[in-house]
Amino acid sequence: MGNMIELKSADGTVVPAYEARPAGTPQGAVVVIQEIFGVNSHIRSVADGYAAEGYVAIAPAMFHRVKPGVELGYSEADMGEGFGYKTAVEALPAPGAMPDIQAAIDHAAKASGGKVGIVGYCWGGLLTWRSACTLQGLSAAVPYYGGGVTSEAEIARQTKVPVLAHFAEEDKWIPLDTVEAFKKAHPEVQVFTYAAHHGFNCDQRGAWHEPSAKLARERTLAFFAQHLS
């Protein structure tokens, strides 16, 4: 359904992105932020799924500044490699790779002629939360099990747009007590938890939990329909 395009970031860096467009007139746009595995077949299928719902979907390559062309699977080795790239991106001098997301938002707004939402998974969930708090041009944000979102530093941020957050109750990376702390600090955020593990949305991972993924997607689509229409 989609194809690779190029985005130009604020500092002139050219960043690849996967773009999927709907069959008819777009009803808005959704920026899709990858896990630590790159813009792989799963993330492209997620973008395709939002395009099928009527949105222009853009998935920028968030590792591009440290390693172009990353597309990993889900083995232990892949996880270690991806974590290394994520660590390298997080270590970039501020503002790091955040302008690449801003470039995706700006492109999505022009391409769709409508409002822009953002959704991200795992590390992408963290970047989605940061985007909701720091970037311009968004109307809604949906982080899925964002690693680090429930840390004190991230909880201290204030969102500029409506946020719907999904967490997994059996997530060994994000303890439920920290999710409760996040909820308490951000009563304006809709928070849902699921009887599943970290990564439950990805049907290419062992952690995939179809009932949770289906319910979270239904809630996300309803949230975007409310705020992007």
Active site residues: 122, 171, 198
Please give the Cα distance from 99 to 94 (Å, whole number): 10
Please give the Cα distance from 225 to 117 (Å, whole number): 10
163 beta partners: 141
Q: Annotate 124-174 with DSSP letters as a single string.
A: HHHHHHHHHHH-SS-SEEEEES-TTTTSHHHHT---SS-BEEEEETT-SSS
What is the bridge-based pairing of β-strands 29-33 and 116-121?
Answer: parallel
Which uninterrupted H or E stretch holds 60?
Answer: strand 56-60
Q: In what order do the strands lie in the sheet with 2-8?
A: 2-8, 14-20, 56-60, 29-33, 116-121, 140-144, 164-168, 190-194
Nearest Cα neighbor of 103 from 133, 142, 58 is 58
Nearest Cα neighbor of 37 from 5, 3, 84, 2 is 84
Q: How long, in residues, is the chain?
A: 229
